Chains A and B, each alone.
Chain A
């Protein structure tokens, strides 16, 4: 606000002061929400469409902080742990939601508006975001894992990919593709990290009957199931995978597959939309898909992850924040994206109603696979033998971020040939044991 330059009469001053006070009043009546968001295509679209929300709610202004996943996690954790209240809405994952809810860091997502239709939100996704029977975040997009393969190469080699392949079949196909198909037989995550190679490996271990811990919180990383699974993985990638597989994460494999260098790839369902987009992928018309492969049990063979919106207890604007979170995860928002970008690009996996849309089924041939994978991924029943934790591709305790990554680094080392699988698992076992002993889990 500018000061008047000309000398003013007392009356004028009073009027001016009054209008200034009014102006500042109306300014403070508008609520500003700061949203900590992840840099991914779905979130960028949300940011782009958010002015529609601001128009509907003229008293709410949105402020965005967009960051990369690991930076975001560190930034948001610092803020929430110091109760700073810099953020009103945070994007968090299935791993954080129950842990943070347990610590009392999040507002429960109750008293939602009548037209929100919570039962339309996929149940496994809701379960993954709940703690003690209460929901603490609303899913913005949900992903599971599945198998992608090259239809053209399969038919050329006379192979058929079943809808539900087994890992034994995958190994045979990888061999054939590498030897006769002129491509790397299979691409898998090798980069170390609890959310990188360990996400895939945990599903492989689950389906082979293994688990991270037994009921008494003793790690089972040196068990035969782990040895079998990790041995299989290292052997498969060393023989038929791309060179330098131990540094490949989601993006590297996406590039390899999209540029036609991989015959098969098992990874996040979110890749389907990218591989089918001819602007980003040279194999858009040649991609086939199947469920994530299984071993001795289908339990825990595909993961479940959702990026969700939550409201930290430190926020002073719970009501406005809840209004925004509901809008961003509503049926109307999905329709808004469909109108702007087309149905292929709507946030996947959150609502059953999305999958009932004939336009979506037509535009996204992978839709039913994705929904099926998400609905069958149960974070509370992901292993053959009983476990004391929840989570499919992770262990839902705060210590997991650290020891999960240490185990990931040992296995990545084995994949690179720096150490043996046995030595890697022995080191992993010791790291996991240390973490749970220090955390006081073992009774």
Chain B
């Protein structure tokens, strides 16, 4: 193949990658510029306008952003830690000591994700009400953990399967117990994978909106509830909604950028052999 040919191919792939990236990023970009418009400008398609902080001022005056953000941080960190704590031992036993039903259990776990959440709203609501978990941070951590656990177990399971069994066996022969095996060998070896699992859990629980809106009202309300309060069927709200959304996604977007390398490495871990 000639040099010119491969250059052309390189050019085409680059162009495709860029257009896809722009396509994905465009709505976020549009939200960003809308948040700096006035309500009236927000309904026009122009990109040339006098930027204003009016919507941000309004949003800060109307609701207590820090309290919502604090809840979001507490909830997503709690969910990530709790899920990993439960998923790692589960995945360990499934990957290294599979029983005759392990595959079926894995599939069954995934099947719980296939039901629409609203289907169990009333039973969950009643359970939460009777155990005093409504509108509490711990109540939301529990429900999010239950939702995200299948994903966490599946991901950890996949990463653990990449770890050669022989290394763990060698450690066992040398007298290491299960905990030593997990902490000194398994976790360091699958760290990139587990880190990206953690990041994914963090992002998923940050963005979850259905349960947070239904199970919290004021004390435990995270940023998704904060956004939901800015949409309106009667009245102009796009600029304020965009400002609120920008404030809500900013922390997690910054985190995503910082952890980009780790995330990509973890998600493609074991993809090429």
Q: Is the CB of B44 within 8 A of A84?
A: no
- What's the minimum C-beta distance from B51 to chain A, rounded to whole angstroms? 17
Q: Is the CB of A250 within 8 A of B236?
A: no
Verify if A22 is at the interface (C-beta below 8 Å from B): no
Contacts A67-B229, A68-B229 given; does A86 touch B235 at CB 8 Å:
no
Verify if B62 is at the interface (C-beta below 8 Å from A): yes
B213 to chain A: which residues have CB within 8 Å? 67, 71, 75
Verify if A270 is at the interface (C-beta below 8 Å from B): yes
B44 to chain A: which residues have CB within 8 Å? 259
Q: Is the CB of A40 within 8 A of B234?
A: yes
Q: Is the CB of B236 within 8 A of A280?
A: yes
A271 to chain B: which residues have CB within 8 Å? 234
B214 to chain A: which residues have CB within 8 Å? 74-75, 78
Main secondary structure of the interface of A (DSSP, over half): mixed
Q: Is the CB of B217 within 8 A of A82?
A: no
Q: Which residue of B has the minimal Cβ distance to A32?
A: B218
The residue among B214, B230, B234, B236 with the most chain A CB atoms within 10 A of its own CB is: B234
B229 to chain A: which residues have CB within 8 Å? 39, 65-68
Roughly how many angstroms separate A88 CA and B85 CA in the complex, as a whole number?
A: 39
Q: Which residue of A has the minimal Cβ distance to B240?
A: A39
B40 to chain A: which residues have CB within 8 Å? 258-259, 279-282
Roughly how many angstroms separate A281 CA and B236 CA in the complex, as a whole number?
A: 11
- What's the minimum C-beta distance from A67 to chain B, rounded to whole angstroms? 6
- What's the minimum C-beta distance from B116 to chain A, rounded to whole angstroms? 14
Which of A38, A65, A81, A250 is within 8 Å of B218, CB to CB?
Answer: A65
Annotate B44-86 by CB proximity to A: 1 below 8 A, 0 otherwise: 1000000000000000001100000000000000000000000
Q: Is the CB of B228 within 8 A of A67?
A: yes
Contacts A258-B40, A259-B44 given; does A251 touch B236 at CB 8 Å:
yes
Interface residues of B (CB under 8 A from A): 39-40, 43-44, 62-63, 121-122, 125-126, 129, 134-135, 213-214, 217-218, 221, 225, 228-237
**Listed A/B pairs (27) with beta-carbon separation below 8 Å:** A39-B237, A40-B235, A48-B62, A63-B218, A65-B217, A65-B218, A66-B63, A67-B213, A67-B225, A68-B231, A68-B233, A69-B233, A70-B233, A71-B228, A75-B213, A78-B121, A78-B214, A81-B122, A82-B125, A84-B125, A86-B135, A251-B237, A258-B40, A259-B44, A274-B236, A279-B40, A280-B236
